[in-house]
Amino acid sequence: TCIALVLFVYLLFVTGFLGGFSTFSTAINEMVSLARNRHLAMAAFYVLVTIVVPVICVALGWIVGSLAH
């Protein structure tokens, strides 16, 4: 029924949203652990690959998407 579908979609999005939080927390924890253990080059690379590159990709996607209009 419609209620079951709404509940399913709600659970799907809540699970994904909360899963994103735990994934991000794990990534930040790894970066901090690397930096504390003096693996600064690896920590910087991890920040670059985990945060900087995705933000650049989003910005580029936004630009490309706006060109289509």
pLDDT in tens, 12-64: 888 888 877 778 888 899 999 999 999 999 999 999 999 999 999 999 999 99
CA trace torsion 60, 61, 65, 66 (10° rounding): -40
H-state helical runs in 1-69: 2-36, 40-47, 53-67
38 Rama class: left (phi>0) / alpha (psi -120 to 50) / beta: left
